């Protein structure tokens, strides 16, 4: 018998899950309950969970296959490559390259051919105030478009580009070059059907450069509208972190952003473990031809 209690935290997304100790392996009933709550609330908060990296990996692995962060192999925990360190603390005596991770609206790893299924983020150290993360519901974003706009976006493919990560070009130049080589611009459908719920969601983000078959000039006003619409306050849950919160989000139907709303001299130290997504998308063969219909014809998967 399980004692899980699920308390909604927001209308668009977010629920607190009580009654679980994530240091212990979940039973199959508990996994089913967590999945059901996840599909309903999209973002789940598990307060008061002081997990070690192996425990974080074990919990994440109950909900999906583990992502090993090979596309971004620099910011991983030295002993546990499955764990990405999102931190503003110094790493090997140098400023952390992940101190500004997630500063524009995005879904994790959308610039790869396996956008993450979900991510689990744990708060190990936090500033006195701020350092919040916001999540937006992409089902609502799609469902609230007019039928004609839905029909229009249903047919579009979006070019996701790692260089549009905010502050990307200010990172270590050698890493930037390698990350660009590992992650060429990739095309994904703008509207995705969630494999578990069957609902359509908008797969837009601030890391989309243009739509296939359209120039950047043609795409930008549409992207501006869609990003603004998708992140409307009524679609958003804002999480104010407590120490040892574990927060898990569904990347297939949400966007998120990490806010720089805190005193940067104070530590914010998080551990993230992601779930491998389904293979999707294709690489544009030549960046100079981006936006051309021809460039969309070479699929790699």
- Asked if 14 and 241 touch (Cβ cutoff 8 Å), the reply is no
- Name the active-site residue from 106, 114, 252, 268: 106
Are 227 and 77 a contacting pair, CB within 8 Å? no
CA atoms of 169 and 66, how far apart (whole Å): 28
Closer residue to ligand SIN (CB): 37 or 109: 109
- Exposed (0-12), middle (13-18) or buried (19+): which is 122, by Cβ within 10 Å? buried
* Least distance to ligand SIN, CB of residue 102, Å: 3
Shortest Å, Cβ 246 to ligand SIN: 12
> Do 44 and 237 contact (CB within 8 A), yes or no?
no
Say which of 108, 113, 161, 245 is annotated catalytic: 108
Identify which of residues 33 and 254 has a Cβ nearer to ligand SIN in the complex.
Answer: 254
Q: How far apart are CA 41 and CA 9, in angstroms?
A: 9
Catalytic status, residue 114: no
Is residue 175 within 8 A of residue 165, CB to CB? The reply is: no
**Between 41 and 200, CB nearer to ligand SIN:** 41
What is the rounded CA–CA span in Å between residue 287 and residue 293? 13
Is 106 annotated as catalytic?
A: yes
Instruction: Report in angstroms how near the CB of residue 238 gets to ligand SIN at its nearest.
Output: 11
Contacts to ligand SIN by CB under 6 A = 86, 101-102, 108, 119, 121, 133, 256, 258, 270, 272
- CB closest to ligand SIN, residue no: 102
Question: Considering only CA atoms, which of 106, 101, 151 is closest in space to residue 131?
Answer: 101
Contact 120/59 with Cβ under 8 angstroms? yes
Q: How far is the CB of 173 from ligand SIN (least distance, A)?
A: 22
Which uninterrupted H or E stretch holds 269? Answer: strand 269-275
- Closer CB to ligand SIN, residue 160 or residue 256? 256
Quick one: tokens of 297?
Answer: 């014809």
The answer to whether 272 is a known catalytic residue is yes
Q: Which is nearer to ligand SIN, 59 or 211 (CB)?
A: 59
Burial per residue of 148-175, b for 16 or more beta-carbon CB atoms within 10 angstroms, e otherwise: eeeeebeebbbbbbbebbbebeebeeee
Can you name the residues that pair with 189 across neighbouring β-strands? 157
Output the smallest distance, CB 97 to ligand SIN, in A: 13
Which of left, alpha, beta for 14 (phi over 0: left; psi -120 to 50: alpha)? left
Which of 41, 114, 239, 256 is labelled catalytic? Answer: 256
Catalytic (active site) residue 161: no
Report which DSSP code applies to 236. E
Least Å from the CB of residue 116 to ligand SIN: 9
- Residue 31: other Cβ atoms inside 10 A: 14
Residue 209 or 256: the one with the smaller Cβ distance to ligand SIN is 256
Residues carrying an active site annotation: 106, 108, 256, 272
């Amino acid at each position: 018998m399980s004692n899980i209690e699920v308390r909604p935290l927001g209308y668009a997304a977010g629920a607190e899950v009580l009654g679980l100790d994530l240091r212990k392996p979940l039973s199959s009933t508990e996994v089913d309950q967590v999945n059901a709550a996840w599909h309903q609330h999209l973002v789940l908060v598990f307060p008061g969970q002081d997990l070690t990296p192996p425990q974080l990996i074990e919990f994440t692995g109950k909900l999906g296959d583990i992502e090993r962060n090979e596309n971004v192999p620099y910011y991983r925990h030295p002993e546990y490559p499955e764990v990405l360190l999102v931190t503003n603390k110094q790493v090997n005596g140098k400023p952390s390259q992940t101190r500004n991770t997630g500063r524009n609206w995005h879904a994790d790893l959308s610039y790869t051919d396996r956008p993450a299924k979900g991510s689990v983020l744990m708060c190990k150290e936090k500033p006195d105030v701020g350092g919040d993360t916001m999540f937006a519901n992409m089902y609502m974003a799609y469902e609230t478009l007019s039928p004609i706009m839905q029909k229009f976006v249903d047919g579009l493919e979006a070019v996701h580009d790692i260089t549009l990560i905010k502050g990307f070009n200010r990172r270590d130049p050698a890493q930037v070059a390698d990350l660009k080589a590992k992650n060429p611009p990739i095309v994904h459908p703008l509207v995705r059907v969630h494999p578990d719920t069957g609902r359509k969601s908008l797969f837009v983000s601030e890391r989309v450069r243009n739509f296939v078959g359209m120039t950047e000039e043609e795409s930008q006003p549409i992207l501006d509208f869609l990003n603004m619409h998708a992140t409307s306050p009524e679609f958003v849950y804002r999480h104010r972190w407590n120490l040892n919160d574990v927060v898990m989000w569904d990347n297939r139907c949400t966007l998120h952003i990490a806010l720089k709303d805190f005193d940067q001299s104070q530590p914010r130290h998080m551990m993230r473990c992601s779930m491998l997504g389904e293979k999707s998308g294709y690489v544009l063969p030549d960046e100079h031809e981006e936006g051309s219909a021809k460039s969309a014809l070479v699929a790699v998967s």
